[in-house]
A = this chain, B = another copy of it.
């Protein structure tokens, strides 16, 4: 049996791997989980003993297949909970993260199945992030680009908003930046700031690079052929 904390480490490593697809370094995990590096090192020792991570000293870790399965289970719990909370308990998409983060470790397989069923086996959560399927097969990254990677004048459809900060998410919602909306890229400033107009809002919104890079688009809008 794994502790909540171990599950958190595996989830963190999984998510960092999605972003960088490289070996994950001690300091990255420490940053992600708000813990010191020696703490991470000692936890990695334990995870290695259990064959949940592959380790190379001084060179970071990757998840083993088993570790990845555990991480997927947790991510599935998290995203199903987020979906359920918004769908059935009237939560706003900006609020669900913290609640799901606490509950994800404590629901049974039975609960997971019932929630998935109540939602009709959804494929994405309210942020547009894919929910791992019940068989926990590693999803193939269908990945698109962030809105920061387009030219001014392009019109794109938002697929996913991968930020976790509730304040940022509220702000985005207020300005019409949510999964499913169309966004016209108005300007990309040299320092990375993206200005765009949502189909759901009157005024354009400007987003610093750190925020814009979390707003993902499934497929680039084709330029005129």
Residue of B nearest to A111 (CB): B99
Contacts of A85 in B (CB 8 A): 111
Query: Which residues, 86 to 112 on A, are CB-close (under 8 Å) to B?
Result: 88-91, 95, 98-99, 102-103, 105-108, 110-111
Cβ of A16 under 8 Å from chain B: no
For A168, what are the chain B residues with a Cβ–Cβ distance below 8 Å?
none
Q: How far is the CA of A88 from the CA of B117 in the complex (A)?
A: 12
On chain B, the residues within 8 Å of A108 by CB distance are 98-99, 102
- Chain B minimum-CB-distance residue to A105: B106
In whole angstroms, how far apart are the Cα atoms of A163 and B88 in the complex?
A: 30
Q: Are B102 and A114 touching (Cβ within 8 A)? A: no
CB A210 to nearest CB in B, in angstroms, measures 27
**Which of the residues B102, B106, B111 comes within 8 Å of A89, measured between beta carbons?**
B111
Chain B residues closer than 8 Å to A95, beta-carbon distance: 110
Q: Which residue of B lies closest to A108 (CB)?
A: B99
A115 contacts chain B at the CB level, 8 A cutoff: yes
A30 to B110, CA, bound (A): 29
Chain B: minimal CB distance from A105 (Å)? 8
A residues engaging B (CB < 8 A)?
A: 85, 88-91, 95, 98-99, 102-103, 105-108, 110-111, 114-115, 118
Closest 8 CB pairs of A and B: A102-B106, A89-B114, A106-B106, A103-B106, A99-B111, A99-B108, A90-B114, A89-B118
